[in-house]
Amino acid sequence: MLSEEDHTTWLEIDLGAIADNLRKLTAISGARVMAVVKANAYGHGLIRVAQTAVGAGAAWCGVARLEEALALRSAGIESPILVMGDTPAPRMGEAAEKDISITLFRPEQLPSLGTASKRTGKTLRVHVKVDTGMGRLGVPVDKALGLPPRSAIKCWRDRGRALHAFCPGG
């Protein structure tokens, strides 16, 4: 077993620096900043980093999975939360009940949004992930342009679009 003296690497989390950096970024950009705290805030501690970020002015928290979003809600985080990963259809209602935004990756998910909305009596907040050519995740551009406008679908509220910029050969 290794003793403390044998460890030559360690990680120190300076929540003050996180808060200061967030305040500076918000001031410089003038934008509403999302603190991406997925994967346990990249090993820094989901709850404490999210609380620090929101306290320093983060408008949103971004997570990978619904479980992380639910943990933030349980910890008292009231700011908007976006699940950037896939939310399984049977769990979309949980997101609606806790006012958590989810990401739409496939047009085939639309019926599940309707089912979850009807079951909970709530409107789901949705970001549409658009695949601009990486072929990794998202609704293909041609299908994204053909999605019904939010005014035509009462079960979800379109919160925004997300994409990975793709530049072939560059």
| 150 vs 158: CA distance, rounded Å | 6
Mean pLDDT to the nearest integer, 34-44: 93
The predicted-structure confidence for 53-76, as pLDDT tens digits, reads as follows 999 999 999 999 999 999 999 999
Question: Quick one: which of 69, 149, 82, 84 has its CA closest to 110?
Answer: 149
Q: Which pLDDT value is given to residue 148?
A: 60
State the DSSP code for 75. T
Q: What is the pTM of this model?
A: 0.82
Q: Which pLDDT value is given to residue 156?
A: 52
Q: Which pLDDT value is given to residue 54?
A: 98
Question: Quick one: which of 60, 108, 107 has its CA closest to 84?
Answer: 60
Name the residue with higher pLDDT: 89 or 162. Answer: 89
Q: Where do the domains of the chain lie, and which CATH numbers do they carry?
A: 34-163 (3.20.20.10)
Find all residues with CB under 8 Å of 123, minimum gap 6, and list them. Answer: 96, 117, 154, 155, 156, 157
Q: What percent of the chain has pLDDT over 90?
A: 52
- Give DSSP secondary structure letters for 35-48: EE-HHHHHHT-HHH
| 26 vs 15: CA distance, rounded Å | 16
Instruction: Give Cα 121 distance to the centre of its chain.
Output: 23
The predicted-structure confidence for 85-133, as pLDDT tens digits, reads as follows 999 999 999 999 999 999 988 888 888 888 998 899 988 888 888 777 7
Question: Half-sphere exposure of residue 4, counting CA atoms within 13 Å on the CB side?
Answer: 0
Largest CA distance in the chain: 64
Mean pLDDT for all residues in the chain: 84
